Amino acid sequence: MTIPVFRFAPSPNGSLHLGHAYSALLNQKMVHETDGKMLLRMEDIDRERCTPDLENSMLEDLEWIALSWEQPVRRQSEHFPIYQEALNRLIEMELIYPAFLSRNGIRHEIERSNVADWPYDPDGAPLYPETERKLSKREQQTRISAGEPFAWRLNMDRALEMVGKPLVWHEFGSGKNVDARPQDWGDIIIARRDMPTSYHLSVVIDDALQGITHVVRGKDLYHATSVHRLLQHLFGIEPPLYHHHQLILDEDGAKLSKSRKDTSLRSLREKGTTRQEICDLIGL
Ligand code: GLU
């Protein structure tokens, strides 16, 4: 029998808050209940916003809430060549293309199109216009060589065609299979010009490489799982089981944010809050 492998995967671009404590400790609880293993992964592909200081202070916070994990900690920033390889596979499969429209460019294109009910993705961003899917290789190359900024986007229609069947994932908390709806995301960004990956690409590659069997994370990533299922299928990766847990909200019912100081673990610790009080606050 395989040992269940869980992970906590924060991005060191701000301070951990009560919501992170909930996610980390819920993972730990499930690790104990299943005799599983706990891994820690720093999702630090954004080299501007993620800093060693922020990572160190996250590690201190995690030690303070008594999270324990197996060494080594995986840092995504140390594995760019692996993501590049995965990106190259998608390029070879002709599933992605360089997309040159900036955010403003997208807005203009939408206005120009006169489509009144332009579709938006589950995160609230307008779907990418499909106009550039058909650029010739030569034109792509000319624009790239001219230094035009671009992102690598998935040709969603082509990817869905290649999959050719509906995809599902399993929510082990509710015991239900969920129909994946990658089409709701349109031509999503898979990598950037100066970064051979994105959250979606690296999370899928790393969960597979680290042998993660159970992904326990916040409901805010529920819809992103559709994209992850699609990528897993394209790469021939067996999906892990998922549990998307409730989010800890502030007194106004809003999601906690990494920039808010008063609910950061650090400020709570400095105010003398104990670990037990943290557990009581998050109901664990
Ligand atoms: N790095 C992501 C975050 O901090 C979490 C990724 C995941 O659990 O899949 O929001």
Q: Give me the tens of pLDDT residue by residue for the chain, a chain 284 residues long.
A: 789 999 999 999 999 999 999 999 999 999 999 999 999 999 999 999 999 999 999 999 999 999 999 999 999 999 999 999 999 999 999 999 999 999 999 999 999 999 999 999 999 999 999 989 989 999 999 999 999 999 999 999 999 999 999 999 999 999 999 999 999 999 999 999 889 999 999 999 999 999 999 999 999 999 999 999 999 999 999 999 999 999 988 878 888 877 777 789 999 999 999 999 999 989 98
- Distance (angstroms) between ligand 1 centre and the Cα of 188 equals 17
132 and 202 belong to one structural domain: yes
* CATH number of domain containing 270: 3.40.50.620
Quick check: helix, strand or coil at residue 176? strand
- Distance (angstroms) between ligand 1 centre and the Cα of 10 equals 5
Model pTM?
Answer: 0.95
- Distance (angstroms) between ligand 1 centre and the Cα of 224 equals 11
229 within domain boundaries: no
- Distance (angstroms) between ligand 1 centre and the Cα of 24 equals 11
15 and 46 belong to one structural domain: yes
186 and 205 belong to one structural domain: yes
- Distance (angstroms) between ligand 1 centre and the Cα of 201 equals 12
9 lines ligand 1 (CB under 6 A): yes
183 within domain boundaries: yes
Query: How confident is the model at residue 259, as a pLDDT?
Result: 72
| Helices (H), ranges, the chain | 18-34, 52-64, 80-92, 103-113, 137-145, 156-163, 199-209, 224-235, 265-270, 275-282
In ligand 1, the atom with minimum distance to the C-alpha of 7 is 8
187 lines ligand 1 (CB under 6 A): no
230 within domain boundaries: no
217 lines ligand 1 (CB under 6 A): yes
43 lines ligand 1 (CB under 6 A): yes
Query: How confident is the model at residue 150, as a pLDDT?
Result: 97
115 and 147 belong to one structural domain: yes
- Distance (angstroms) between ligand 1 centre and the Cα of 42 equals 9
The number of domains in the chain is 2
**3 neighbors 246 (Cβ within 8 angstroms):** no
- Could you give the CA distance from residue 31 to residue 216 in angstroms, rounded to a whole number? 11
61 lines ligand 1 (CB under 6 A): no
Domain with 145 in it: 79-210
174 and 121 belong to one structural domain: yes
